């Protein structure tokens, strides 16, 4: 066959409409024609080879050494060629979309809500649809058809001739991308996002650090009159965001992470990565947060286990520890003061100390230090037994009280004492899961 300009026009048309490379279209046509030639009357004698000239559009089909007249293939062969061509073009489109979006995993994308399917939201992204599963939706958000929506691409897979793109609104990466969009200093790498933790729809804590000491990292993220952070909060439908300055010093970082509560003191146990945070009595509920939210996020952000105490709780604890110290044989108020000033504030500190450390306390010699350590061990065992006995007595008292209430039918009920604040103290591990 001589030149075939119709083939060239077909290739050009598919290239423009589908955004598929011309070479891919030519190969798809060759594959389709080869399949059609196998359907010719009499079948194929050997392997069919089809070549289309890229310049003239001439089609050369060979069955071994025999040339096949493509124009005489018949209706069934033509239908086969059409089906194969459509299949190849769809596969080429799928591969192009997959390659385009696979490099955008973890990035934010904007689309429009198209429809709902079994709780999942189908989002129109232009060339392809994305799926926002129910598990990746924020619990207090509602979506309407046609509404603009921003989400993070978390996964992309090929499924048949389609590309399935999974989206998320709950990922912390969404917060990072929104800050990159709203705060030029972050996209310009003047300000770094060091750490971020999130309970979607409720609260986020984000730690930032300024590379340039002249730039206020928190102020830059908040913006003039709060315009930058307001845009982010509006995008998240009111989710609260705490922006805190990052610090390489654990004490400072923990104090910042506990914001907005004001921390008076931080005690650290570096071996176990435990931190005791002391706040004023009126700051306790703020430090713990609703359902432990504030201290839980602070623990996740810093990587430290955090115990929250009030000033009065700390004073009571110290009073109790001093009482225990005074129960040691030979202990005087003056000697107890010297031990506490040397860092031995409880009998357990004395038990765990080396003899050499105890000798640093004025008035102690090696014999008396060893004797004091043995006495502290015995006293600790007695105290543990006393506390266990008291706990068992309290438990049995509660059980008998319940029995009397059940048996006393018709008896006048005594109103229970007003419950104490459930947020009297807080102990939160960094691995705690957020409450539903």
Q: Judge whether residue 409 has pLDDT over 60.
A: no
Q: Judge whether residue 350 has pLDDT over 80.
A: yes
**Residue 194 shares a structural domain with residue 150:** no
**Residue 57 shares a structural domain with residue 159:** no
Q: Judge whether residue 6 has pLDDT over 80.
A: no
Q: Which of 57-71, 168-182, 184-198, 199-213 has the lowest mean pLDDT?
A: 57-71
* Domain end call among 168, 195, 212: 168
Mean pLDDT of 324-333: 88
Q: What is the CATH number of the domain that holds 22?
A: 3.30.1480.10
260-282 burial, b if ≥16 CB within 10 A, otherwise e?
ebebeebeeeeeeeebbbbbeee
**Residue 190 shares a structural domain with residue 319:** no
Does residue 287 fall inside a structural domain? Answer: yes
**Residue 76 shares a structural domain with residue 147:** no
Predicted confidence band of residue 107 (pLDDT cuts 50, 70, 90): very high
Does residue 252 fall inside a structural domain? Answer: no
Q: Judge whether residue 255 has pLDDT over 80.
A: yes
**Residue 89 shares a structural domain with residue 217:** no
pLDDT for the residue 41: 60
CA distances from residue 116 to 145, 147, 374 in whole angstroms, order as listed: 8, 12, 71
**Residue 96 shares a structural domain with residue 236:** no
Q: Which of 228-242, 283-297, 388-402 has the lowest mean pLDDT?
A: 388-402
Q: Are 426 and 295 in contact (CB under 8 A)?
A: yes
Q: Judge whether residue 283 has pLDDT over 80.
A: yes
**Residue 355 shares a structural domain with residue 300:** yes
Does residue 279 fall inside a structural domain? Answer: yes
CA atoms of 186 and 173, how far apart (whole Å):
14
Kindly report the three-state secondary structure assignment for every residue of the chain.
Answer: CCCCHHHHHHHHHHHHHHCCCHHHHHHHHHHHHHHHHCCCCCCCCCCEEEEECCCCCCEEEEECCEEECHHHCCHHHHHHHHHHHHHHHHHHHHHHHHHHHHCCCCCEEEEEEEEEECCEEEEECCCCEEEECHHHCCCCCCCCCCCEEEEEEEEEEEECCEEEEEEECCCHHHHHHHHHHHCHHHHCCCEEEEEEEEECCCEEEEEEEECCCCCCHHHHHHCHHHHHHHHHHHHCCCCEEEEEECCCCHHHHHHHHCCCCCEEEEEEECCCCEEEEEECHHHHHHHHCHHHHHHHHHHHHHCCEEEEEEHHHHHHHHHHHHHHHHCCCCCCHHHHHHHHHCCCCCHHHHHHCCHHHHCCCCCCCHHHHHHHHHHHHHHHHHHHHHHHHHHHHHHHHHHHHHHHHHHCCCCCCCCCCCCCCCCCCEEECCCCCCCC
* Domain end call among 222, 246, 270: 246
Predicted confidence band of residue 401 (pLDDT cuts 50, 70, 90): low
Mean pLDDT of 351-361: 88
Does residue 410 fall inside a structural domain? Answer: no
303-328 burial, b if ≥16 CB within 10 A, otherwise e?
ebbbbbbbbebbeeeeeebbebbeeb
Domain assignment of residue 189, given as a range: 171-246
Number of domains in the chain: 4
Q: Which of 59-73, 206-220, 354-368 has the lowest mean pLDDT?
A: 59-73
Does residue 414 fall inside a structural domain? Answer: no
Please, which residues have CB within 8 angstroms of residue 9's CB and are 6 or more apart in sequence? none
pLDDT for the residue 284: 93
Q: Judge whether residue 252 has pLDDT over 80.
A: yes
Q: Are 112 and 143 in contact (CB under 8 A)?
A: no
pLDDT for the residue 422: 40
Q: What is the CATH number of the domain that holds 232?
A: 3.30.300.20
Q: Of residues 39 and 134, which shows the higher confidence score?
A: 134
Predicted confidence band of residue 418 (pLDDT cuts 50, 70, 90): very low
Does residue 394 fall inside a structural domain? Answer: no
* Domain end call among 192, 222, 246: 246
**Residue 77 shares a structural domain with residue 175:** no
**Residue 46 shares a structural domain with residue 73:** yes
Does residue 303 fall inside a structural domain? Answer: yes
Does residue 417 fall inside a structural domain? Answer: no
Q: What is the CATH number of the domain that holds 122?
A: 2.40.50.140
**Residue 302 shares a structural domain with residue 430:** yes
Predicted confidence band of residue 435 (pLDDT cuts 50, 70, 90): very low
**Residue 84 shares a structural domain with residue 139:** no
Reported as a single tens digit per residue, the pLDDT across 8-64 is: 888 888 878 777 788 888 888 888 877 777 766 665 556 778 888 888 877 777 777
**Residue 90 shares a structural domain with residue 114:** no
């Amino acid at each position: 066959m001589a030149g075939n300009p119709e083939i060239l026009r077909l290739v050009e048309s598919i290239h423009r409409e589908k955004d598929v490379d011309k070479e891919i279209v030519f190969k798809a046509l060759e594959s389709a024609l080869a399949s059609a030639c196998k359907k010719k009357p009499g079948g194929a004698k050997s392997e069919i080879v089809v070549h289309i000239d890229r310049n003239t559009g001439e089609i050369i089909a060979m069955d071994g050494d025999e040339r096949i007249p493509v124009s005489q293939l018949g209706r069934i062969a033509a239908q086969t060629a059409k089906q194969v061509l459509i299949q190849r073009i769809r596969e080429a489109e799928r591969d192009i979309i997959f390659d385009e979006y696979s490099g955008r995993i973890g990035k934010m994308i904007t689309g429009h809500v198209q429809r709902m399917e079994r709780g999942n939201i189908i989002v129109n992204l232009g060339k392809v649809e994305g799926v926002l599963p129910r598990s990746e939706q924020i619990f207090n958000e509602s979506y309407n058809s046609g509404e603009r929506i921003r989400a993070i691409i978390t996964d992309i897979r090929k499924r048949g001739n389609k590309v399935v793109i999974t989206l998320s609104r709950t990922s912390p990466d969404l917060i990072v991308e929104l800050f990159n969009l709203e705060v030029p200093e972050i996209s310009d790498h003047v300000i770094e996002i060091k750490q971020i933790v999130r309970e979607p729809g409720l609260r986020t804590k984000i730690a930032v650090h300024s590379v340039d000491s002249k730039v206020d990292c928190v102020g830059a993220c908040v913006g003039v009159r709060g315009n930058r952070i307001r845009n982010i909060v509006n995008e998240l439908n009111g989710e609260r965001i705490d922006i805190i300055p990052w610090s390489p010093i654990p004490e400072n970082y923990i104090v910042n992470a506990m914001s907005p509560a004001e921390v008076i003191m931080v005690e650290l146990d570096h071996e176990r990565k435990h931190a005791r945070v002391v706040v004023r009595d009126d700051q306790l509920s703020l430090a713990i947060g609703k359902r432990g939210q504030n201290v839980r996020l602070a623990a996740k952000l810093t990587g430290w286990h955090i115990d929250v105490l009030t000033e009065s709780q700390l004073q009571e604890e110290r009073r109790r520890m001093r009482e225990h110290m005074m129960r040691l044989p030979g202990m005087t108020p003056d000697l107890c003061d010297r031990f506490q000033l040397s860092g031995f504030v409880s009998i357990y500190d004395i038990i765990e100390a080396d003899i050499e450390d105890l000798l640093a306390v004025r008035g102690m010699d090696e014999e008396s230090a060893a004797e004091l350590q043995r006495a502290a061990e015995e006293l600790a065992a007695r105290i543990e037994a006393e506390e266990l006995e008291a706990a068992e007595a309290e438990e049995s008292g509660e059980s008998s009280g319940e029995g009397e209430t059940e048996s006393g039918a018709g008896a006048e009920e005594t109103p229970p004492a007003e419950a104490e604040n459930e947020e009297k103290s807080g102990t939160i591990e960094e691995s705690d899961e957020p409450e539903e």
